[in-house]
Amino acid sequence: MSTTQDQSAAPPAAAATRSVREATFELLREQGMTTMFGNPGSTELPFLADFPAGFRYVLGLQEAVVVGMADGFAQASGRPAFVNLHTAPGVGNAMGAIFNAQANKSPLVITAGQQARAMMTLQANLTNRDAARMPHPLVKWSYEPPRAQDVPHALARAVHAATLPPQGPVFVSIPMDDWEAEADEDLTRNATARSVSGRAAGHPAAVRDLAQRIAEAANPVLVAGPDIDAAGAWDLAVELAERARLPVWASPAPGGGKLGFPEGHPHFQGILPPAIGPLSETLQGHDLIVVVGASVFAYYPNIPGPLLPDGAALVAVTNDPDEAARAPMGDAIVADVKLTLERLLADLPDCDRPSPESRPPAQEPPESDPISASTAMAALAGVMPDDGILVIEAPSSTLAARNQLRLSRPGSYYFGAGGGLGFGLAAAVGVQLAQPRRPVVCVVGEGSAQYAIQAFWSAAAYDVPLTVLVLRNEEYAILKWFAGLEQVQGAPGLDLPALDVAAVAEGYGVRGRRAERSGDLTSALREALASPKPELVEVRVAPGMALG
């Protein structure tokens, strides 16, 4: 037997192999998804093992907060965000927040751990027995890969599915023993490097026709929706309104997580009421209603009436085929809002109709004791920095905030379009993480704050310099207003006496200040905005709705 090695007979050097976990982190790095929101359990620990440098894990203490933070982060960064939840109960806790993310068209790649494959059929503890079905109607795609080697490809598919229009959350369940398995190099390498673009322009003839209809209409109006901001089409919407001399309404608040138009602009008229009858009454007199970047319409509550004012036609531009299909009236162009507005402006003939009248400036609210929520919003308007961002979940004060602040820059406003409470406080932390250089103010009702109260801990733990303004009116004011509308008397559970949010926030590590008068509120807000740490200001406000 020869003692010298015969090089030609040696087996080829084994190709470098990677684990499914290593391949997944490579994919996430490649896709720019290096911030991860999660709440871990034993089924997720194998994924988090040897957490690689260059990644950031943001811990939320309850899954509604985890998904809410990711939602705010995705919307404010314009990038998909990665979420890791704890098998079935973690997904269960997150469900309301996933519903909100769907309404917000927020691109979230939500993953959850699962029992080891060998233990699933015998249904060992923590098995999610039908993982893909669990979040099903709330996500664009829900999946549990059949083999460990498919995990990186499934996650790549999840990223593209979440990001293609209309954007939204997707879900992948991953058995805990998949992470150490050997990755399929060819599949991983190919799936990791793909880029997929779904932005498509509207049919040229349809866009040309719309331009012509705008030019020929006697009294057209623009309804601006949240996808204008999401598409980066803010300036184009302004150009359209100015060139075609259109008055502009914001699409109804429940459906709009963002602004579509500067609310201090002279053409801006206000926010459309969300009920069928009042909405068409508001648009009375217009013969062409052009809706851009919104559904037609996010109606609520049920106040019947005609869908359109007499003699009016409607055309909607939306990136969402489902929005186009389910609208009960009007025509629709399904396309990217920005590309379509560019084309529309190129096709738009000159219009010589007069410019619309401007609405009056915000009124200074009358004095009262306690101060009204409108007065609190006027105080906030007085100190809000030009580049400030408002995240709001204060149901009875949303209209007052919009009217007093009249925010006029893109990316300045986030509101939970789904209406599930718990978005505000959590999303505000995510928005501030995504926009560290812009001051973020979260205005939240003391009732709403409870649905994501643990977000205070994440804000403190990660030094997120957020300002939270809690409106303390000691009741569910909006529900009392709804009770009036629905002619409901004697409903229990609408009062919130002695709920001390400032004291609770202190327990999570966020300093609280209390204000009673408008002057105190102004100075407390100034100090909070100047602080490099999260700060809370709680102000006592009068009960009831604040509209102006």
Ligand X SMILES: Cc1ncc(C[n+]2csc(CCOP(=O)(O)OP(=O)(O)O)c2C)c(N)n1
Binding stretches for ligand X (CB under 6 A): 96, 394-397, 419-422, 445-448, 451, 473, 475-479
How many whole angstroms separate alpha carbon 224 and alpha carbon 290? 8
Asked whether 154 and 24 are in contact (CB, 8 A), the reply is no
User: Smallest distance from the beta carbon of 259 to ligand X, in angstroms?
Assistant: 20
For the range 483-489, what are the long-range contacts, defined as Cβ-Cβ under 8 Å and sequence gap of 24 or more?
485/301, 486/301
Nearest to 536 by CA among 422, 453, 431, 420: 453
How many whole angstroms separate alpha carbon 346 and alpha carbon 341? 8
What is the residue type of 241? Answer: A
How many whole angstroms separate alpha carbon 170 and alpha carbon 102? 9
User: Smallest distance from the beta carbon of 442 to ligand X, in angstroms?
Assistant: 12
Q: Which residue's CB is nearer to ligand X, number 173 or number 473?
A: 473
Q: Which residue's CB is nearer to ligand X, number 201 or number 479?
A: 479
Calculate helix-pair angle for 337-347, 234-243, nearest 10 degrees. Answer: 30
Q: Which residue's CB is nearer to ligand X, number 330 or number 419?
A: 419
Q: Which residue's CB is nearer to ligand X, number 103 or number 317?
A: 103
Q: Which residue's CB is nearer to ligand X, number 217 or number 453?
A: 453
> HEC states along 119-179?
HHCCCCCCCCCCCCCCCHHHCCCEECCCCHHHHHHHHHHHHHHHHCCCCCCEEEEEECCCC
Cβ-closest position to ligand X: 445
Q: Which residue's CB is nearer to ligand X, number 397 or number 403?
A: 397
User: Smallest distance from the beta carbon of 398 to ligand X, in angstroms?
Assistant: 8
User: Smallest distance from the beta carbon of 362 to ligand X, in angstroms?
Assistant: 19
Q: Which residue's CB is nearer to ligand X, number 106 or number 149?
A: 106
Asked whether 370 and 516 are in contact (CB, 8 A), the reply is yes
Q: Which residue's CB is nearer to ligand X, number 223 or number 537?
A: 537
User: Smallest distance from the beta carbon of 485 to ligand X, in angstroms?
Assistant: 13
The whole-angstrom distance between residue 196's C-alpha and the CA centroid of its chain comes to 22
User: Smallest distance from the beta carbon of 159 to ligand X, in angstroms?
Assistant: 28
User: Smallest distance from the beta carbon of 300 to ligand X, in angstroms?
Assistant: 11
User: Smallest distance from the beta carbon of 16 to ligand X, in angstroms?
Assistant: 49
User: Smallest distance from the beta carbon of 400 to ligand X, in angstroms?
Assistant: 10
How many whole angstroms separate alpha carbon 460 and alpha carbon 511? 9
Instruction: Give the alpha-carbon dihedral of 12, 18, 23, 24, to 10 degrees.
Output: 160
Q: Where are the alpha helices (DSSP H) in 231-290?
A: 234-243, 276-282
How many whole angstroms separate alpha carbon 73 and alpha carbon 37? 10
Asked whether 227 and 251 are in contact (CB, 8 A), the reply is no
- HSE (CB half, 13 Å, CA atoms) of 119? 13
Q: Which residue's CB is nearer to ligand X, number 426 or number 478?
A: 478
Calculate helix-pair angle for 423-434, 63-77, nearest 10 degrees. Answer: 40
User: Smallest distance from the beta carbon of 273 to ligand X, in angstroms?
Assistant: 17
User: Smallest distance from the beta carbon of 507 to ligand X, in angstroms?
Assistant: 20
Q: Which residue's CB is nearer to ligand X, number 396 or number 458?
A: 396
DSSP state of 253: G
Tokens found for residue 534 = 């999260």
Nearest to 103 by CA among 422, 481, 337: 422
User: Smallest distance from the beta carbon of 302 to ligand X, in angstroms?
Assistant: 16
Q: Where are the alpha helices (DSSP H) in 20-150?
A: 20-30, 45-48, 63-77, 87-103, 117-120
Tokens found for residue 278 = 């009042």
Q: How many residues does the chain have?
A: 548
Q: Which helix (H) or strand (E) holds 215?
A: helix 204-216
Q: Which residue's CB is nearer to ligand X, number 35 or number 398?
A: 398
Q: Which residue's CB is nearer to ligand X, number 103 or number 246?
A: 103
